[in-house]
Chain A
Amino acid sequence: MLKIILPTMMLMPLTWMSKPNMIWINTTTYSLLISLISLLFLNQLNDNCTNLSLSFFTDSLSAPLLTLTTWLLPLMLMASQFHLSKEPLTRKKLYITMLILLQLFLIMTFTATELIMFYILFEATLAPTLIIITRWGNQTERLNAGMYFLFYTLVGSLPLLVALLFIQNNMGTLNFLMLQLWSQPMPNSWSNTLLWLACMMAFMVKMPLYGLHLWLPKAHVEAPIAGSMVLAAVLLKLGGYGMMRITILLNPLTNSMAYPFMMLSLWGMIMTSSICLRQTDLKSLIAYSSVSHMALVIAAILIQTPWSYMGATALMIAHGLTSSMLFCLANSNYERTHSRTMILARGLQVLLPLMAAWWLLASLTNLALPPTINLIGELFVVMASFSWSNITIILMGTNIIITALYSLYMLITTQRGKYTHHIKNIKPSFTRENALMALHLMPLLLLSLNPKIILGPIY
């Protein structure tokens, strides 16, 4: 594990000591190399986990998420180059440092063995994200967004700390590997209900669950591009990952406690998909689509069947790449027209055809087109929820239809039709942007050739 952590830590002196014209090149290249190292972890030998040290381990669930995190850093750096170009040098370096710090915490979170270490780093990821949103966001609403983001997550996760300490007292350890072997069934009682809630609420807020999702549209819209990318792609998956880890301790109570949250997430995914149809702000649309996809993941984790876990894991990786790519596309629009409103920048297919191709592919993966891993994830979740209860097929089916509707709506509004007069002289797509989209899409498409990497420990 040190072979990833140390290089990531050393990326920070790299940014501060690089020559001004080499900052971006150095950091992007070295973070790409680090992501190549993390690919080693994808080779999971058995359905047990790979113990790397006393404090770090990877298994088939955390390895793909780790790879996603490390893959995302060079992409974030590439995407931020334009809007930071006018900032003074020190601020650029600070921004990159924040990203690297966030990356470091995330890497350690996904591979933590001890649940307290997981918790500490889970909270620690809030700090660089908050700084990125409030300092480098675009509008005055970013302060509000930062407050919502911070306080929702904190209030949700404080009970988690108490719960973890309680479990540590009871079990004697919070080492995840030991907990797997030593966990006893949790009978139904009031205090166990509260314990269940305390454990799960932090992750529900992070996912986010439909009733607790208000922070997400604000944070995503006000964050700069790298902030949106890392929020959508990785930070939401922290919640899913945490839920999958902690539910091992909470059986069989989950069978009865899950009902309200199942209902919230099933209803929520339809509601947020429908809200997407009425959105005028492009980033807001993608943010609500994130909520909708994550609601599927929550539903899958709460059902707790082998197929649903496989679907949840696949969906997390697939959504991470797709959502991040959509945010990059929206940002490339915003950098040109200086407006996030969809109807003011229409007909882009004629002006930027290659970018239109990326838009098409991103929208298609967003609506879970076969044979992408998005489809595999969604399909497994739908099938598992059908076996859990037959009626959910109606809700899931409606959600799939509405997802297709708003993805195509977004595509058609921005790409098709006659272009508006005032975008006639937008700059053509930069190689950097095309490379960014390709680097997002390539793993997505390659994984559809070999999805068993991302299907998690149950496969």
Chain B
Amino acid sequence: MRFSDQNGKMSEIKKKIQSVLPGGAWNPPYDTSYLPPEHSDVVIVGGGVIGLSVAYWLKRLEKPRGAIRVLVVERDHTYSQASTALSVGGIRQQFSVPENIQLSLFSVEFLRNINEYLAVVDDPPLDIQFNPSGYLLLASEKGAAVMESNVKVQRQEGAKVCLMSPEQLRNKFPWINTEGVALASYGMEYEGWFDPWCLLQGLRRKVQSMGVLFCHGEVTRFVSSSSHTETTSGEEVTLKRIHEVHVKIDRSLEYQPVECALVINAAGAWSGQIAELAGVGKGPPGTLQGTKLPVERRKRYVYLWHCPQGPGLETPFVVDASGAYFRREGLGNNYLGGCSPTEEEEPDPGNLEVDHDFFQDKVWPPLAQRVPAFETLKVRSAWAGYYDYNTFDQNGVVGPHPLVVNMYFATGFSGHGLQQAPAVGRAVAEMVLDGHFQTINLNPFHFSRFYLGEKVQEHNII
């Protein structure tokens, strides 16, 4: 403002002063309780079982109580498309990657003692209906050797798995047709299935009692600042840090910028989009900057059928060598099952419509061949859910991103996220609070393996 030209400027000056002084038209303070806070130390994008598990362990492991402010941003509070709610709910230790086995073992211990972990004062205890019936993986001649070595690894890690020959199979499970089965591995302890919705609600309740804030909104933008540094070999690299998250409120144009120190990407099937928002993968392909997060949505169908002559109460979660699986559901001779489609038959993940022909063509025949009683069954209902499918090696991504330094990933579990959620939550919380993994070492699941090309592949996947 220069006082050199006075004529005609007085009204302008007056207008300027008025614009600077606080509001002419007085608006009464309106209710903004639906908005997230303006500041949060940790923002967890995604309120499914992984996101809530991370929130739970962050609050549980923080050294002085109440140190960290955590905000969980979930777009859909009905969880209508979330993988957690639509999951079949199995938990097994029969993996070939040792870290997966360790994660699963801890998760089972968590689920078994869930009412000690997730107890809330004055609230009823949780009943996750854990059926410890075990998993039964069947292998043909081709896969028998792999199965044996897998079982050895599993036993080393502490899982209780036994190998069964076709003869023993027929003795134990008379309803199985062992044609084509060379070997089977049966989990005797710590395996089974449970109610994922109950776990989700239990975590939600507990986490809210620990002081985590929830926000019903969608993350639309990350505001970040970058700085250039040189690596030890002299090449220039750009490190980014996110310092603001724009959360858009549902069904409205309003958004709230949340200032944050850390972002945890637990968005499940939509993690790839969140990572793109943060600038992961924006660069020439083949470089670390250009490595995208290879997690995308894949649709999987689950069918519920009724078979009055079907296998009984002791039925484990059976996974056939062809990839089809089924498990008992409830006490009325109902069964849940499905099959992973091959790469060519991948359904369009745009919606969650169910293809019933898939059951007729791809699920029923192998199951009917394996369990003759399933030749007569009636499909009661079906639904579809998303896998947060890691197209690289179908195992989770856990840990920070090397370039966007304050974004941590906890996603990409490709169908076994629910069973690893409690352990993954603890691992991420340890990474955030201590800087390294303390109980289970998930360094093989780091993001940089996508750039370096080191696959952590399972030798038998569902």
Residues of A within 8 A of B (CB): 16-17, 90-91, 94, 138-140, 278-280, 337-339, 341-347, 418-427
If A341-B67, A341-B68 touch, whether A418 touches B436 (CB-CB below 8 Å) is: yes
If A280-B64, A424-B239 touch, whether A419 touches B260 (CB-CB below 8 Å) is: no
Q: Across the interface, do B260 and A94 meet the contact criterion of CB distance under 8 Å?
A: no
State A455–B281 Cα separation when bound (angstroms). 63
If A138-B39, A344-B41, A425-B240 touch, whether A338 touches B64 (CB-CB below 8 Å) is: no
Asked if B80 is at the interface of the complex by the 8 Å CB criterion, the answer is no
Number of interface residues of B (CB under 8 A): 39
Chain A residues whose CB sits within 8 angstroms of the CB of B38 once the complex forms: 138-140
State A138–B40 Cα separation when bound (angstroms). 12
Which of A16, A279, A338, A421 has a CB less than 8 Å from the CB of B260? A338
Which one, B213-221, B272-280, B427-435, is touching chain A?
A: B427-435
Q: Across the interface, do A91 and B405 meet the contact criterion of CB distance under 8 Å?
A: no
If A17-B3, A425-B405 touch, whether A344 touches B39 (CB-CB below 8 Å) is: no
State A278–B261 Cα separation when bound (angstroms). 21
Chain B residues whose CB sits within 8 angstroms of the CB of A424 once the complex forms: 239, 405
What 0/1 readout, one digit per residue, does chain B (1-24) give for beta carbons within 8 Å of chain A?
111000000000000100110000
Can you name the residue of chain A whose Cβ is closest to the Cβ of B228?
A425
State A138–B434 Cα separation when bound (angstroms). 28
Can you name the residue of chain B whose Cβ is closest to the Cβ of A336?
B241
Which of A338, A343, A427 has a CB less than 8 Å from the CB of B62? A343
Q: Across the interface, do B241 and A140 meet the contact criterion of CB distance under 8 Å?
A: no
Q: Across the interface, do B405 and A421 meet the contact criterion of CB distance under 8 Å?
A: yes
State A367–B203 Cα separation when bound (angstroms). 43
Q: Across the interface, do B2 and A17 meet the contact criterion of CB distance under 8 Å?
A: yes
Most buried by B among A140, A280, A343, A425: A425
Q: Across the interface, do A341 and B69 meet the contact criterion of CB distance under 8 Å?
A: yes
If A17-B1, A344-B261 touch, whether A422 touches B68 (CB-CB below 8 Å) is: no
Which of B69, B432, B435 has a CB less than 8 Å from the CB of A419? B435
Q: Across the interface, do A422 and B400 meet the contact criterion of CB distance under 8 Å?
A: yes
Asked if B251 is at the interface of the complex by the 8 Å CB criterion, the answer is no
Q: Across the interface, do B241 and A422 meet the contact criterion of CB distance under 8 Å?
A: yes
9 further interface pairs, Cβ-Cβ under 8 Å (given A279-B64, A425-B226):
A140-B37, A338-B261, A341-B68, A418-B435, A418-B436, A421-B435, A422-B432, A423-B405, A425-B239
Asked if B243 is at the interface of the complex by the 8 Å CB criterion, the answer is yes
Can you name the residue of chain B whose Cβ is closest to the Cβ of A277?
B64
State A339–B227 Cα separation when bound (angstroms). 19
CB distance from A230 to the nearest CB of B (A): 22
State A190–B67 Cα separation when bound (angstroms). 48
- Chain B stretch 406-462: residues in CB contact (< 8 A) with chain A: 406, 408, 431-436
Q: List 18 A-B contacts (CB under 8 A).
A: A17-B1, A90-B19, A91-B20, A138-B38, A138-B39, A338-B243, A338-B244, A341-B41, A341-B68, A343-B63, A343-B68, A344-B68, A421-B405, A421-B435, A422-B400, A422-B406, A425-B227, A425-B239
Q: Across the interface, do A94 and B20 meet the contact criterion of CB distance under 8 Å?
A: yes
- Chain B stretch 35-88: residues in CB contact (< 8 A) with chain A: 37-39, 41, 62-64, 66-69
Can you name the residue of chain A whose Cβ is closest to the Cβ of B262?
A422
State A421–B260 Cα separation when bound (angstroms). 15
Chain A residues whose CB sits within 8 angstroms of the CB of B434 once the complex forms: 418
Chain B residues whose CB sits within 8 angstroms of the CB of A91 once the complex forms: 20
State A343–B260 Cα separation when bound (angstroms). 14
Chain B residues whose CB sits within 8 angstroms of the CB of A337 once the complex forms: 261
CB distance from A104 to the nearest CB of B (A): 20
Chain B residues whose CB sits within 8 angstroms of the CB of A342 once the complex forms: 67
Q: Across the interface, do A344 and B37 meet the contact criterion of CB distance under 8 Å?
A: no
Most buried by A among B229, B244, B406: B406
If A17-B3, A421-B400, A421-B435 touch, whether A280 touches B66 (CB-CB below 8 Å) is: yes
CB distance from B221 to the nearest CB of A (A): 16
Q: Across the interface, do B435 and A339 meet the contact criterion of CB distance under 8 Å?
A: no
Which of A278, A346, A422 has a CB less than 8 Å from the CB of B405? A422
CB distance from A304 to the nearest CB of B (A): 40
Q: Across the interface, do A343 and B433 meet the contact criterion of CB distance under 8 Å?
A: yes
Q: Across the interface, do B431 and A421 meet the contact criterion of CB distance under 8 Å?
A: yes
Can you name the residue of chain B whose Cβ is closest to the Cβ of A16?
B1
Asked if B189 is at the interface of the complex by the 8 Å CB criterion, the answer is no
Which of B1, B229, B259, B433 has a CB less than 8 Å from the CB of A425? B229
Chain A residues whose CB sits within 8 angstroms of the CB of B20 once the complex forms: 90-91, 94
Can you name the residue of chain A whose Cβ is closest to the Cβ of B22?
A135
Most buried by A among B16, B37, B262, B434: B262
Q: Across the interface, do A90 and B262 meet the contact criterion of CB distance under 8 Å?
A: no
Q: Across the interface, do B262 and A344 meet the contact criterion of CB distance under 8 Å?
A: yes
CB distance from B14 to the nearest CB of A (A): 14
Can you name the residue of chain B whose Cβ is closest to the Cβ of A420?
B435
CB distance from A400 to the nearest CB of B (A): 23
Chain A residues whose CB sits within 8 angstroms of the CB of B69 once the complex forms: 341
Most buried by B among A278, A345, A420, A423: A420
CB distance from B263 to the nearest CB of A (A): 9
Can you name the residue of chain A whose Cβ is closest to the Cβ of B261?
A339
Query: What 7 A-B pairs come out closest when comparing CB atoms?
Result: A425-B239, A280-B67, A422-B406, A339-B261, A421-B400, A339-B41, A338-B243
Chain A residues whose CB sits within 8 angstroms of the CB of B408 once the complex forms: 422
State A198–B261 Cα separation when bound (angstroms). 47
CB distance from A180 to the nearest CB of B (A): 44
CB distance from B35 to the nearest CB of A (A): 10
Q: Across the interface, do A427 and B262 meet the contact criterion of CB distance under 8 Å?
A: no
Chain B residues whose CB sits within 8 angstroms of the CB of A140 once the complex forms: 37-38
Chain A residues whose CB sits within 8 angstroms of the CB of B243 once the complex forms: 338
Q: Across the interface, do B400 and A139 meet the contact criterion of CB distance under 8 Å?
A: no
CB distance from B70 to the nearest CB of A (A): 11
Can you name the residue of chain B whose Cβ is closest to the Cβ of A91?
B20
CB distance from B162 to the nearest CB of A (A): 41
CB distance from B384 to the nearest CB of A (A): 36
Chain B residues whose CB sits within 8 angstroms of the CB of A344 once the complex forms: 41, 68, 261-262, 432
State A227–B20 Cα separation when bound (angstroms). 20
- Chain B stretch 275-296: residues in CB contact (< 8 A) with chain A: none
Most buried by B among A16, A17, A422: A422
State A94–B19 Cα separation when bound (angstroms). 13
CB distance from A91 to the nearest CB of B (A): 7
